[in-house]
């Protein structure tokens, strides 16, 4: 039912939608391309912060010429009155004759209604073009809306012999290109998470540092049961600029008496502008984050944290970068290796970054 041109224009809309991943808050980053006679009249992505939506911007660009045109949108146009009237109504008013939609919107305020508004107005509506790509581009939004948790990406850098490094010693596993990719992945996420062990070992900043990507730093979360995050760490010292959450996950049976200094450390963290979030399980933490509009979580380390997410079935995507060097005996073994990715994952990308290889896996169920 779809032509090569249809695929090309929806592909463009999907690439546009990826551009604002991590920048649109609780709103999905949607792409819209308006086309007539094979020519793009307007193309837009949901604005930073989530408003205006993609369609209204693209229609503004197209102007009067939108009459009789085809609109390609990566998500069903909205049907609810937010700060502005619904996009479905705007498409009707502009007189487009055909709307091609990649995915329907699971938001209960919209789901199916956007499509009805268009069809009732006599517009030809087609649904499902490049659906699989759409599901990847909108993975965070879909996960938050349907499972009420963020979409979780685990990332690990492993040596050729499957090691993460050596205990107490800094070992460089991957080169500059693979490391730059990490910054892109950070930029596309709403939040980054590491374990307290990683903070103690590396004192990371967990910000996005790439030319042209300023102002794109996601909030930073440290899994730190005992609230040991040092006040002198880069994270705490920069907490007024980019928020930091210390997440303490422990079973309800935890005995506060066993650690009398805990409250003192909690107060000091709060004083330093860090938020402390206590939950009884990792799922509960993710639920809480979703409630705050966090759709995508990038889990950067270390081994224990990655293994915990993986074994609790809370990993949706795994990115393994593999460097060419071997660490040898005495190395810190990676909990996940390209050779033993569980049967529940499929590889969707294998790419070379200089001398490193990058494998991307996606949950297959
Ligand atoms: C669209 N085009 O570009 C986006 C849409 O808070 P509001 O009023 O902005 O509405 C948020 C909802 O709008 C969100 O849950 C989703 O259903 C839709 N997002 N819709 O037509 C867009 N970003
Ligand atoms: Zn809209």
- 87 marked as binding residue: yes
On whether both 137 and 154 belong to a single domain, the answer is no
Instruction: Summarize the confidence of residues 153-177 as an average pLDDT.
Output: 88
Q: Return the structure tokens found at 81.
A: 């009155």
Contact status, residue 269 vs residue 231, Cβ threshold 8 Å: yes
CB of 56 closer than 6 angstroms to any ligand 1 atom: no
- 209 marked as binding residue: yes
CB of 105 closer than 6 angstroms to any ligand 1 atom: yes
What pLDDT band is residue 87 in, cutting at 50, 70 and 90?
A: very high
Of the residues 141, 162, 182, the one at which a domain ends? 141
Q: Which residue's CA is the nearest one to ligand 1's atom 17? A: 107
The CATH number assigned to the domain holding 318 equals 3.40.430.10
Report the residue among 44, 48, 50, 106 best suited for mutation to probe ligand 1: largest number of ligand atoms under 8 A from its CB. Answer: 50
> How many CB atoms are located within 10 Å of the residue 1 CB?
7
Q: What are phi and psi of 16, to 5 degrees?
A: -60, -40
On whether both 84 and 44 belong to a single domain, the answer is yes
On whether both 64 and 162 belong to a single domain, the answer is no
- 358 marked as binding residue: no
On whether both 211 and 342 belong to a single domain, the answer is yes
Report the residue among 20, 27, 71 best suited for mutation to probe ligand 1: largest number of ligand atoms under 8 A from its CB. Answer: 27
On whether both 180 and 319 belong to a single domain, the answer is yes
∠ CA 237-243-244, nearest 5°, is 70
On whether both 296 and 181 belong to a single domain, the answer is yes
Instruction: Summarize the confidence of residues 260-280 as an average pLDDT.
Output: 96
The CATH number assigned to the domain holding 97 equals 3.40.140.10
CB of 103 closer than 6 angstroms to any ligand 1 atom: no
Active site residues: 55
243 Cα to the center of ligand 2, angstroms: 29
176 Cα to the center of ligand 1, angstroms: 37
Q: Which residue's CA is the nearest one to ligand 1's atom 11? A: 27
Rounded percentage of the chain residues whose pLDDT exceeds 90: 82
Of the residues 141, 169, 203, the one at which a domain ends? 141
Instruction: Summarize the confidence of residues 215-231 as an average pLDDT.
Output: 94
Looking at the DSSP assignment, which residues form a beta bridge with residue 163?
333
CA atoms within 13 A on the CB side of 193: 27
- 103 marked as binding residue: no
What pLDDT band is residue 254 in, cutting at 50, 70 and 90?
A: low
pLDDT at 43: 98
On whether both 62 and 134 belong to a single domain, the answer is yes
Residue 24 Cα: closest atom of ligand 1:
23
First to last CA, the chain: 28
Residues contacting 173, CB < 8 A, separation 6+:
157, 158, 159, 164, 165, 321, 323, 325
Rounded percentage of the chain residues whose pLDDT exceeds 70: 98
Of the residues 81, 111, 141, the one at which a domain ends? 141
On whether both 239 and 303 belong to a single domain, the answer is yes
On whether both 162 and 19 belong to a single domain, the answer is no
Q: Crossing angle, helix 54-62 and helix 87-94, to 10 degrees?
A: 20
Instruction: Summarize the confidence of residues 297-319 as an average pLDDT.
Output: 93
- 332 marked as binding residue: no
What pLDDT band is residue 60 in, cutting at 50, 70 and 90?
A: very high
Instruction: Summarize the confidence of residues 349-361 as an average pLDDT.
Output: 95
Residue 77 Cα: closest atom of ligand 1:
21
On whether both 57 and 157 belong to a single domain, the answer is no
Q: How many domains does the chain have?
A: 2
Domain that holds residue 111: 4-141
288 Cα to the center of ligand 2, angstroms: 26
Q: Give the C-alpha separation, 285 to 143, whole Å.
A: 15
73 Cα to the center of ligand 1, angstroms: 12
47 Cα to the center of ligand 2, angstroms: 11
Average pLDDT, the chain: 93
On whether both 175 and 305 belong to a single domain, the answer is yes
pTM of the model: 0.94
Q: Return the structure tokens found at 176.
A: 């500059």
CB of 54 closer than 6 angstroms to any ligand 1 atom: yes
On whether both 29 and 10 belong to a single domain, the answer is yes
CB of 150 closer than 6 angstroms to any ligand 1 atom: no
């Amino acid at each position: 039912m779809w032509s090569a041109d249809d695929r090309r224009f929806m592909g463009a809309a999907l690439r546009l939608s990826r551009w604002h991943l991590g920048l649109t808050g609780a709103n999905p980053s949607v792409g819209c391309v308006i086309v007539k006679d094979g020519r793009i009249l307007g193309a837009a992505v949901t604005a930073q912060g989530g408003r205006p939506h993609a369609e209204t911007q693209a229609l503004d660009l197209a102007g009067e010429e939108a009459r009789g045109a085809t609109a390609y949108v990566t998500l069903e146009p909205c049907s609810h009155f937010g700060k502005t009237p619904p996009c479905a109504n705007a498409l009707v008013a502009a007189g487009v004759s055909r709307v091609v939609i990649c995915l329907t919107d699971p938001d209960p305020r919209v789901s199916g209604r956007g499509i009805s508004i268009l069809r009732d107005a006599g517009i030809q509506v087609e649904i499902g073009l490049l659906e699989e790509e759409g599901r990847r581009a909108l993975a965070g939004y879909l996960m938050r809306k349907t499972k009420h948790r963020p979409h979780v990406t685990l990332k690990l850098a492993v040596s050729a012999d499957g090691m993460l490094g050596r205990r107490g010693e800094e070992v460089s596993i991957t080169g500059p290109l693979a490391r730059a990719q990490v910054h892109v992945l950070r930029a596309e996420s709403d939040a980054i998470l590491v374990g307290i062990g990683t903070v103690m070992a590396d004192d990371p900043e967990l910000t996005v540092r790439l030319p042209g990507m300023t102002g794109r730093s996601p909030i930073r979360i440290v899994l730190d049961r005992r609230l040991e995050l040092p006040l002198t760490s880069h994270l705490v010292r920069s907490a007024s600029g980019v928020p930091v959450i210390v997440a303490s996950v422990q079973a309800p049976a935890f005995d506060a008496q066993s650690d009398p200094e805990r409250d003192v450390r909690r107060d000091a963290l709060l004083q330093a502008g860090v938020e402390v979030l206590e939950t009884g399980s990792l799922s509960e933490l993710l639920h809480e984050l979703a409630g705050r509009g966090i759709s995508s979580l990038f889990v950067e380390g270390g081994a224990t944290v990655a293994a915990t997410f993986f074994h609790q079935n809370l990993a949706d995507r795994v990115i393994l970068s593999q460097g060419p060097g071997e660490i040898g005996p005495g190395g810190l073994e990676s909990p996940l290796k390209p050779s033993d990715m569980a049967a529940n994952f499929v590889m969707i990308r294998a790419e070379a970054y200089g001398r490193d290889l990058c494998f991307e896996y996606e949950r297959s169920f």
